[in-house]
Amino acid sequence: MRITQGMLSGNILTQLSKGYGKMADYQQQLASGKKITRPSQDPVVAALGIGYREDASAVEQYQRNVTDGYKWLDSSDSALSQTDDVLNRIRELTVQASNGTNSADDRNSIKQEIDQMKQQLVTIGNSQIGERYIFNGNNSSVAPISIDSSGKITVNNGMNNAPVTIDVNHGVKIQINVDPQSVFNQGLFDDMDDLENALSDGNTTGDQISDFLSKIDDHLSHVSAAQADLGAKMNRMDLIQNRLAVQKEDTEKIMSSNEDADFESTVVNLTTQQSVYNAALSVGAKMMQPTLADFIK
């Protein structure tokens, strides 16, 4: 095969163009901080990057879910603490009312305060986060407790104890609500009504009023049990939050290893490629044979 000057020149120009392209790639890596800017530059890196980004996006969504879960748990915890305070106040008033020395006016004053405490229990039971009622299971768009025009308190039939769950990891859910029937049930408000009626009846003895203490204590124990259950959920949520933070950090490290350019190596590669390019230019210039025109003076 005969090698012509044109073939030699064309080959040299092709190699110089490739070398110049490599320098451009290294310069782009230094400017962008990424190994590639187009999938065609390295399909494997690009494909892995898509998978890693999906993992990172999923972890971020789980973290947002956990944040929403904390809002629900914190609101429930605050509501239960208030419920405990109200019931303890009702208990104090009941102890006070059981004293046989109380006059009718004294009992009436106690009854009025207990009625206000009962109204407060309704307010707590209808606590919301945004437009969602936190003590009505997964039927959170409906208020669990209502009061009619006569002041009668009713726990709605729509009240349910279905769990409200959130996704906190792949295939992992956690319940974030409290069973409303364990705290804000019809029995609670019926007992408060009976207590008020007993205080209104002048024939009710102090011992009969003190009988309500055991009922109040029973409701208080339900509140304590709900608080303990809620505390366990919050502890687990803390562990999940910490785990997600570790997952996010690990995913970001893998993404960085896959996509980010190594600054030191890239600088070395660019410098080396520049030297190779300059050497190629020098060699190419010497290999180009002179023509007749170069000797015509």
Q: Is 72 a member of any domain?
A: yes
Cβ atoms within 10 Å of 194's Cβ, excluding its own? 12
Listed in order, strand segments (DSSP E) in the chain are 128-129, 132-133, 145-147, 153-155, 165-169, 172-175
Q: Is 155 a member of any domain?
A: yes
User: What was the pLDDT predicted at 36?
Assistant: 67
SS3 (DSSP) at 290:
coil
Q: Is 175 a member of any domain?
A: yes
Q: Give the tokens for residue 280.
A: 């190629």
Parts of the chain with a pLDDT under 70: 1-13, 15-33, 35-38, 40-41, 157-161, 260-264, 266-270, 274-297
Quickly list H helices, 98-184: 104-125
What CA–CA distance (Å, rounded) separates 155 from 176?
A: 21
Query: Which distant-in-sequence residues (6+ apart) come within 8 Å of 172 by Cβ?
Result: 240
* Residue 145: strand pairing partners: 155
Query: What is this structure's pTM?
Result: 0.75
What CA–CA distance (Å, rounded) separates 292 from 297?
A: 10
> Could you report the per-residue pLDDT of 163-218, keeping only the tens digit for each?
889 999 988 999 998 887 889 999 999 999 999 999 988 788 888 999 999 999 99
User: What was the pLDDT predicted at 75?
Assistant: 94
User: What was the pLDDT predicted at 235?
Assistant: 94
For the chain, how many structural domains are there in total? Answer: 1
User: What was the pLDDT predicted at 30?
Assistant: 63
User: What was the pLDDT predicted at 130?
Assistant: 87
Q: Is 39 a member of any domain?
A: no
What CATH code is carried by the domain that includes residue 228?
1.20.1330.10
Q: Is 16 a member of any domain?
A: no
Burial 268-282, CB ≥16 within 10 A → b, else e? ebbeebeeebeebee
Q: 133: closest CA among 63, 184, 188, 192?
A: 184
User: Could you list the residue range(s) of the whole structural domain that residue 106 is in?
Assistant: 50-255
236 vs 41, 176, 249, CA distance in Å? 45, 11, 20
Q: Is 182 a member of any domain?
A: yes
Q: Is 245 a member of any domain?
A: yes
Q: Is 36 a member of any domain?
A: no
- Is residue 270 within 8 A of residue 21, CB to CB? The reply is no
